[in-house]
Amino acid sequence: MATQCILILSLLVLVNIVNGQNFLLLPSSEPTCTPQPVIVNTSCDNTPVSNCSCTTTTQLKRSSFPDGFVFGAGGSAYQYEGGAYIDGKGDSIWDNFTAAHPDKIMDCSNGTVAVDSYHRYKEDVAILKEMGLDAYRFSIAWTRILPNGNRSEPINWIGVQYYNNLIDELLLNVLFHWDLPQALQDKYYGFLHHDIVNDFRDYADLCFQLFGDRVKHWTTLNEPWTYSNYGYMEGSFAPGCCSPWMDQNCSTGDSGQEPYNVTHNLLLAHSAAVKLYRERYQAEQNGTIGITLVTKWFVPYYPLREDQAAANRQLDFTFGWYMDPLTRGQYPESMQCIVGDRLPKFTEEESRDLIGSFDFIGVNYYTGRYAYDDSKTVYANYSYESDPKANFTAVRADGQCIGPLDGSSWVYVYPVGLLDLLRHMKTKYNNPRLYITENGIDEVHDNTIPIWEALSDTKRVKYHIEHFCCLQQAIHEGVNVSGYFAWSLLDNFEWTAGYTSHFGFNFVDFKRNLTRYPKVSAGWFKWFLEKENQISQQSISYE
């Protein structure tokens, strides 16, 4: 099967050219920043994995997945491209955020150079093909084709040519992967203002015109929850907004109101782009369009009614926040009840446009958490974080971990959560067509370990085998899953973790010319895809 491209209409990207050997490039105007120490927590290493069984009667191999099932990997513009300030590209909010707040990035780095895919895309496509992947999921940088974000201003044809070249090398695309044009943030505060809906629709329109003859799978938004929560509740992601009482060095924000306003406009922008695509382009271009959502799976802290209700509320506030409007035209009842007047309301027309505004749903899943009731706590301030009246944790008071902890402090391995999430999609949301659009684990280090050690990622192989088993079981139960995209093709700039978090199947040597080296997992994935090899959960361990 020829490699496909699956596009995420990324509202922007940050790219810059490699400058000498300093690949973790920081603009000279940035404040002084001291990198944080890299600490690996091993407290849950011996926790058994809650997984799905691949038995001798259900062998795990490529042919055990349905005909036409797609296996791929993903990347995103700001995390991969580099070239942030060349060839007419405009600034994104991540360009400005990393320059103004290097202290919020673990190693004080940024995506100015990233892995330089802007110049090395042919090399990266060759890696995709060498691995035998069916498809590549990447995002378009809004500011690379519309530097100021507005369709009324000149198009950057150099940026358009870059994406034409990349698409021609491939053939899923994401329109927005968090890198909003800084010009729109300055003009009307970005997704806090309803004007963003028109600008996003115009940006999507241009992408459909320019690339829709070849791109057949579009994703409007990637993880709108992440954008709203970390960007407007915590302030840890661009544009860095939160309430003053959060004590997160935010210059502006309202953690109890703005996340809801931002999500509301994200959903309206999504539905506007989908409506446009269906009315003007879909019949002629014969493509599909959807949205990618992210969630953890929440299980009750203890088998108590209160904790089960807390787990349900937490899922509503994370996942139902988007799926309910997309399928029912309204926010979950639990959110309406708790948030009240702070929760924006859809008009009848907006509800109609939202319902069914997807041909598929992308699901990003990494980990699970225990949830417990917090309804009796009285907080001094409203915030999206406390609104669910539930808290969650990976480690219970008795020391029981939900799963072994991977390198990063948030990735506890819980494969059965993927199965439970997919079952939830089938029973509650009428079994829509799904793609697993991100799934993976990382290694944490400061790029000083020997290359041979960086390449020995047997833990990643085991992680994917265990999730493949759960994915296969979901398919056998009738869940409508059409593909799986691992995160990530390459090590890259991992947002607030900078270059200390390594999710790639391929190691990138950030100290020596950004050279790419295949890890053990890259060879394993190639082996799985090309041959009728049977694999089992017992074939490799986390140790």
Residues labelled catalytic: 223, 438
CB 190 within 8 Å of CB 224: no
Structure-token pair, residue 207: 């992408």
Tell me how far apart the alpha carbons of residues 471 and 479 are, in angstroms, rounded to a whole number: 9
Reported as half-sphere exposure (CB side, CA atoms, 13 A), residue 189 has a value of: 14
DSSP letter at 89? P
For residue 368, the cross-strand partners are 297
The angle formed by the CA atoms of residues 381, 385 and 388, to the nearest 5 degrees, is: 100
Tell me how far apart the alpha carbons of residues 344 and 282 are, in angstroms, rounded to a whole number: 30
What angle do helix axes 258-280 and 195-211 make, rounded to 10 degrees?
40
Of 439, 391, 390, give the one whose Cα is nearest residue 413. Answer: 439
Task: Give 15's contacts (C-beta < 8 A, 6+ positions apart).
Answer: 77, 78, 81, 82, 83, 84, 85, 86, 89, 111, 112, 114, 118, 141, 144
Tell me how far apart the alpha carbons of residues 182 and 154 are, in angstroms, rounded to a whole number: 16
- Other beta carbons within 10 angstroms of residue 195's beta carbon come to 15
Secondary structure of residue 175 in the 3-state scheme: strand
